[in-house]
Structure 1
Amino acid sequence: MTSSGLRCKAVAREPPAQALRRILESPGVFQGPACFNALSAKLVERAGFQFCFTSGFSISAAQLGLPDVGLISYGEMLDQGYQITQAVSIPVIGDGDNGYGNEMNIKRTVKGFIHAGFAGILLEDQVSPKACGHTRGRKVVSREEAVMRIKAAIDAREESGSDIVIIARTDSRQAISFKEALWRSRAFADAGADGLFIDALTSREEMKAFCEITPLLPKMANMLEGGGKTPILSPIELEEIGFKLVCYPLSLIGVSIRAMEDALIAIKGGRLPPPGQLPSFEELKDTLGFNDYYKEEQRYTVSSAQTSSQRTYISGSSTPYTQPTGTEESTEKPYEPVVEVLPPSASNSYSSNNPRGRLSGIWSRTLRIKITGRDGLERLDIRIPAGFLEGISSIIPGVGGKNIMEMLEDAAVDVTDGTETGKVLLDFKDTLGDRIQVFLE
């Protein structure tokens, strides 16, 4: 029997690798369309499939607009994979290509796929740069290196404390021979792979012979749509031969390309795509989860009765005040402004036995900081030693477009001239409309 149309919610709640292993241990054959982004993965899950693959071919096409010939990087595949695994609850098998380097790179790739949320990873024995399956020019590494890649992947899994499913793929059927592909598959099984895949099998006989080696280990079939080297068989036929997983790598990206081409032709001709090809806006919103979002959003809605006015606290005071909104009258009693007066002894101590060059006069002065609310009430009125600006200027030459050193130099001149009326250093309104003034006294 086939299991593609069934969806077990209990499996979906399990950790990804555990859910995939449960599928592999279940009777029947399981179909997994290959996705290429979060939306296509959501559609796979929505259709009722229990798992899906990521396709390097499709992701290269969708993300880069380029062929699957090793141009897409590990980081790009990992980023897209993370978006996919976060969008669905079904387990996802990631296309790890050839691991993006040597055995140390393979370990990093496996650990990255684990952290990205993949349930399984498919690793192949091609050289770099790799070639696309069912195409010309494929070459594979030596037997020894191919087996060592699988061992490195298993070590990475153990070091991560993960249970990610490792599926070993060989491209040696096309690169060397069918006999070589069988030898490598047995060696991968002995090394500890959880599943096996020979790409580009050319007949039912080869498919059957492949499934007969290590019969208890799950085998994967690749139904390359549109004219690959492997015969296209029904799920029932594949189950009878002995396959457990079936991948459909091009269906989603292929129909997407054709649908976009048809839509563009229609638009260019002054028409819209016909209703049968174009979902309604309501259908699109439902597919993308707008309705679910709105329902969940209601859980966090705050009523007007729960909304409190914005309150702030003046530094040095525990008295709060409500910022006026401009549309309502304040019912709060105006509070007294906070005033701090610096005694002469404190300001004089800054210059006593502590010469500070041509700016020394400023240490005998004070800065008055005054904030007046837009309602005309004083919010703040304090005085602090003016000399602290000299220290700040050595760390931060300019603040808010004002050069502190220039301000100090101007202030020092005024002090030398004996000006006692004070000097306005800053006078502006903030974003809330309060007026902020700084005086040198």
Structure 2
Amino acid sequence: MPTHLRANEGADILIVARTDARQAESLGEALWRAQAFAEAGADVLFIDALASADEMRAFCGLGGAAAGVPKMANMLEGGGKTPIMAPEELQAMGFALVAYPLSLLGVSIRAMQDALRGLKGGRIPGPREMGTFVDIQMAVGFPQYFDEERRYAISNATPGASPPPPPPTAAAFDAPGTAAGAAQPQPQAPPAGGYGASSFAQSGSAGTGATAAAPEVVEGVVLEPSSTQRSQGGGSTGSSLVSDKPFSTADDGDWAALKRSRFFRVRICDAKTKLSKLETRIPANFIGSLATMVPQIAGVNLDEMLRAAVGGKLDLSEPLVNYETGTGDLVQIWLEQ
């Protein structure tokens, strides 16, 4: 049968031959079938529910055609017939492949139960328990999705414009002190007098000697829903308030320099109770993608709002943006010191 399958399906196929005859018939019957599987050309042999270490050794000790065929063990945690052993023990016994089918499922269920009990009691899981938003994106394969998106993207950029930066890689989010984390720029303390446009220009043009002149400061501007929504294409019904400190919009070079080297802290909470629903820390260069992944702020142009807020002298202990979503949530974003 295996040889026939390869002839019809091609060589790129791995055949694991399994028998349940140990419990249904006898050990001898199961060993005979495993030998027959090997003679037919199976790539891996598997006898389910072997009842002792001696039976497992007898399986691994098969001669003839079965002698050179890899053997598989199944460690059904907490309820199987086969003794549970560590991978090292199984390898020493002669097994080449092992399955622990319930380990991930079991610990996942327990973690979900613990998280639900915490939520019921008002405790929100933190980054130590669930990782950051970026960690989750990495784990579920967002970088691959971004690669596919770039393959089919239609650019509306003006001729000569710089291409957008690539999405972050897993190495970019390693903890400080690791090899990758050491190379990642870390947040710096704010300069005396706060962040003006000239401060960002100096950091963005280091080594060139160029310093942009600070633009005129505009007093107390509030982004009302009507002005905000015109730039967002009507994707949200919320209202926003940027920092009430004096500000002016940073120019392209200043804003790009800031986003390359700083981090934002993002908090989503209930607008009335202030109970947190999400708190995370993300690279400033990644802020534009946040609105595409968090339902509460879908369609909101966070990049434009933050760019306006960081143009002047700021109190970094206060959020740059307080955005009420219109569905009962409040989104707050801080520039990390």
TM-score normalized by the length of structure 2: 0.42
When Rg is computed on C-alpha atoms for both structures, the one with the higher figure is: 1
TM-score normalized by the length of structure 1: 0.33
